[in-house]
DNA sequence: CAGTATCCTCGACGATACTG
DNA sequence: CAGTATCGTCGAGGATACTG
C-alpha cells in the first residue's frame, strides 16, 4: 500500500512557507477537483468517480484518504449491503471555498487557454 | 522481440477542469513559493535561491523554466560578466496575487498547523 | 553568477485481479 | 458498491561535477 507522502525533508525550507503548505494539502493529483465537486454537496464514491473523470479507483481512494487525514473531507460509512459511503467537506474543508472558486475563475481565464494551446 | 511501449496517459484526468488546470500551472514543487516571493518584486537567481531555502539549483532552474513557459514569469538576461539574470512576474503572473495571498492566509490558519502537528 | 550534464534512486501511479 | 492487494514501469528529483 502506498504511504502518504510526508514532507520529503525533515526540514525543507519551504516547510515554513504557508503558500507551499497550503498547496501541499490540496494540490495532489485530482484533489482540487474532488474538493471542488464536494462544494456542491455530499457525494457517494461512485458519483465522485464519475465527476472526476478518468482517474483510477485506486488513485481516487488514495486522494480521498489523504484529504480525510488532513481533515478537509468527512467520510461517512453506512453499514449496508451494498455498501454506501458518502463524502462531504468538513468545516475546515469549507473554508477553502473562496480559494477553490478563485482557482476555477483563474483557470478559466488563464490556465485552460494556455494548457489547451 | 521488444514490446511496444505505450504512451503514458497523455492528459490528466479532468483535463477540462479549470481548478485542476490552475493547480497544474503553479503547484509544482516550489512554484508557489517562487511566485510568492516574486510578488515582492524582481529577483536575481541567487536571491531567489536563498529565499526559497534548500531547493536544489537544478530544481529551481527547472521550475523557473516551466513558469516562464506558462508566461507567469519573465526572465531578463543581462549579458555581463559575471552573468546576471532577473526574474519577475508577468502581467498574467500578477493576476495570481489574490490567490497567492489567499493561499498564504489559509496556510497560516489551517495548513501549517496540520503539517506541523 | 547562473546555469548544464550525468547518473541513479525510489516512490507515484497505472493496470489488473480479487472481495465483503 | 466501494473498496484492497499486488506488480511493474517510468520519470521526478537528489547528488555531484563541470562551465561560459
Q: What is the SS3 assignment for A40? A: coil
Look at the block and give the residue holding cell 501549517: B112
Give the residue from B34, B29, B52 showing the smallest Cα distance to A5: B29
* A13 close contact with B: CB closer than 8 A: yes
Checking each nucleotide's C1' against the CA of B45, the nearest proves to be C2
**pLDDT tens by residue, B61-86:** 999 999 999 999 999 999 999 999 99
Q: What is the SS3 assignment for B88? A: strand
**pLDDT tens by residue, B37-58:** 999 999 999 999 999 988 999 9
* B93 close contact with A: CB closer than 8 A: no
At residue B108, does pLDDT exceed 50?
yes
Say how far apart CA B51 and CA B35 lie, in whole Å. Answer: 11
Q: Please report residues contacting nucleic strand D, using a CB cutoff of 7 A.
A: A 1, 8, 44-47, 57-58, 61, 64-65, 75, 82-85; B 5-6, 8, 28-29, 55-59, 82-83
Give the pLDDT band of residue B115 (cuts 50, 70, 90).
confident
Reading across the β-sheet that carries A73-78, which strands appear in turn?
Answer: A43-44, A84-89, A73-78
The continuous run of DSSP H or E covering B48 comes out as helix B45-52
- What is the pLDDT, as a whole number, of residue B12? 32
Instruction: Please report the number of interchain residue pairs, chain A to chain B, with beta-carbon separation below 8 angstroms.
Output: 150
At residue B5, does pLDDT exceed 60?
no
> Torsion angle of alpha carbons A23, B107, A35, A105, nearest 10°?
-80
Chain B residues 41-80 within an 8 A CB cutoff of chain A: 52-55, 70-71
Smallest Cα–C1' distance to nucleotide C2: which residue has it?
Answer: B83
The pTM of the full predicted model, rounded to 2 decimals, is: 0.88
Chosen from B103, B114, B116, B117 to mutate, greatest number of chain A CBs within 10 A: B103
Is residue A50 within 8 A of residue A89, CB to CB? The reply is no
Torsions phi, psi of A11, nearest 5? -135, 85
- What is the pLDDT, as a whole number, of residue A16? 81
pLDDT in tens, chain A (117 residues): 443 433 333 333 456 899 999 999 999 899 999 999 999 999 999 999 999 988 999 999 999 999 999 999 999 999 999 999 999 999 999 999 999 999 999 999 999 887 766
Residue A12 and residue B107: Cβ atoms within 8 Å? no
Give the residue from A32, A40, A50 showing the smallest Cα distance to B22: A32
Tabulate helix, strand, coil % of chain A (nearest 5): 55, 10, 30
Amino acid at each position: 500500500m502506498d504511504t502518504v507522502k510526508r514532507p520529503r525533508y525533515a526540514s525543507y525550507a519551504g516547510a515554513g512557507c504557508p503558500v507551499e503548505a497550503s498547496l501541499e494539502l490540496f494540490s495532489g493529483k485530482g484533489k482540487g477537483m474532488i474538493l471542488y465537486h464536494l462544494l456542491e454537496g455530499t457525494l457517494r464514491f461512485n458519483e465522485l468517480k464519475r465527476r472526476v473523470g478518468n482517474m483510477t479507483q485506486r488513485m481516487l481512494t488514495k486522494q480521498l484518504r489523504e484529504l480525510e487525514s488532513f481533515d478537509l473531507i468527512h467520510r461517512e460509512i453506512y453499514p449496508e449491503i451494498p455498501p454506501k459511503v458518502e463524502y462531504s467537506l468538513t468545516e475546515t474543508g469549507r473554508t477553502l471555498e473562496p480559494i477553490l472558486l478563485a482557482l476555477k475563475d483563474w483557470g478559466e481565464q488563464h490556465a485552460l487557454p494556455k494548457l489547451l494551446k
